[in-house]
Structure 1
Amino acid sequence: MEKYLINELRKEEAWRLFKIIGDFVDGFEIMPEFIPAVTFYGSARVKEGDKYYEAARELAKKLVDKGFSIITGGGPGIMEAGNRGAKEGGGKSVGLNINLPMEQHPNKYATVTINFRYFFARKVMFNKYATAYVLFPGGYGTLDELTETLVLIQTKKLKPFPIILYGSEFWEGLVKWIEEVVLKNKFIAEEDFKLFTISDNLDEIVDIIVNFYTQHYEYEI
């Protein structure tokens, strides 16, 4: 019985490996079409008319006008707003969808939707193909994406790029805690605290991203 269970586990793990490879193959084949791109993160629970939804929608329009594509998680809320703004602005966007209980269903605005089985494969696509991140208010998922990316840049596993937090009234408590507790106790260095920027100005965000891109790549948008 024990030998049988071990053999079945090996078969299951082998099939899981093929599924993981499938996630990466789909991403690697499609994502280069959307370079240069800006990744949007934020809550799946905000609705049309919410100030953060409308800000994400407007920012996406401004960025596609500058030649950027938009990358989102493909679902509702801020993700929908980003894909919708890109479409309304005449640009391209991609939704990296993953099935979640209750709230994650692909929105209709993405130019292309890629369905992922595994969070970690999906995160690779967010990181690998982004020129910048803009994070709108959100929950655990948004905070996870923020901190994981900061760690990757801090440890030089990922090349630095702009990480912009939109909505100071939402983010200022967290930033203050990082500065007064984490930095003060020397759990991070001063330079680590400068890995992200807070802005409530959409045009300023566009300028930050465009300036970074033109300074680090061989051609201008």
Structure 2
Amino acid sequence: MDELTTLSNIQNKTPLSVCFLGGSAWEKNDQPYKDSFDTSKILAENGYTIVNGGGPGVMRASTKGAHAGGGKVLAITYYPSKPKRHYEGRDPENDFDMEVKTMDYFDRTKVMLQTTDIHIVFKGSIGTLSEFGMTWISSWIHEPDNKPIILFGNFWDNILDVLQANLLIEKGERDMFKICNSPEEVLTYIKSLENEIRD
């Protein structure tokens, strides 16, 4: 019941919640880990709730950063019935505050995206690619009532260029994203959207 109450509170958008998506393999000295930590810290300091998948890498970094900023973290987790070689699972070092357990990987991603207000995607691997695709199509379907998507890092421009050159990507579809290169830029962008998101 506490888990359902938590979800209800987030859906009521008080405070606004930011979903952190990105690679699970990054360690403390890797730049994406540092970027995730610093971004979640500054967001937590400004009253935002952080949501992640309860794993290592970008997810752990966002939890640590949120706590450093005095914030709270909700993890949306999935526990396979037996260990999966290519799935990171629950990270014991990710000391989140609240947890919602889901049925499988797809359900985990869906719940993360549906119950948050803003999605931010850091550098990762194929799991990140799947999350990137899911938030993109979901936002496109619901446009103009879509959730903002932030891509962290200029490298995303190259990825979008390749996709646009080889797939049937409409201009409006590419315009769904905001590319940010610093935690401060992320905060400024989110603050500029806050009233619109709450309407």
C-alpha contact 2:23 2:124 (8 A) present in aligned 1: yes
Match of 2:136 among 128, 139, 150: 150
* TM-score, L = length of structure 1: 0.77
Q: Tell me which amino acid in the other structure corresponds to 1:180.
A: A
How far did residue 181 of structure 1 move?
A: 2.9
- Superposition deviation, residue 158 in structure 1: 8.8
Relative to total residues, which structure has the larger helix share, 1 or 2? 1
- The list of structure 1 runs, each at least 4 consecutive aligned residues, that deviate by more than 6 angstroms after superposition, is none
- The residue number in structure 1 matching 2:64 is 84
Following superposition, the deviation at residue 92 of structure 1 comes to 0.6
- CA deviations on 1:86-119 (whole Å, 9 max, x unpaired) are 1111111111122362522233421112332223
Identity %: 23
Q: What value does the CA root-mean-square deviation take over the aligned residues? A: 2.2
Match of 2:102 among 102, 116, 119: 116
- Which one of the candidate residues 182, 187, 194 is aligned to 1:206? 187
Is residue 2:176 matched to residue 1:195? yes
Deviation at 1:57, TM superposition (A): 0.5
Q: Tell me what 2:8 maps to.
A: 32
Q: Deviations over 1:72-98 (max 9, x none)?
A: 010101000011111111111111122
What SS class does the counterpart of residue 134 from structure 1 fall into? strand
Larger Rg: 1
Give the gaps of 5 or more residues in structure 2. none
Note the residue ranges of structure 1 that are not aligned, 5 or more in a row.
Answer: 1-24
**How high is the TM-score relative to the length of structure 2?**
0.85
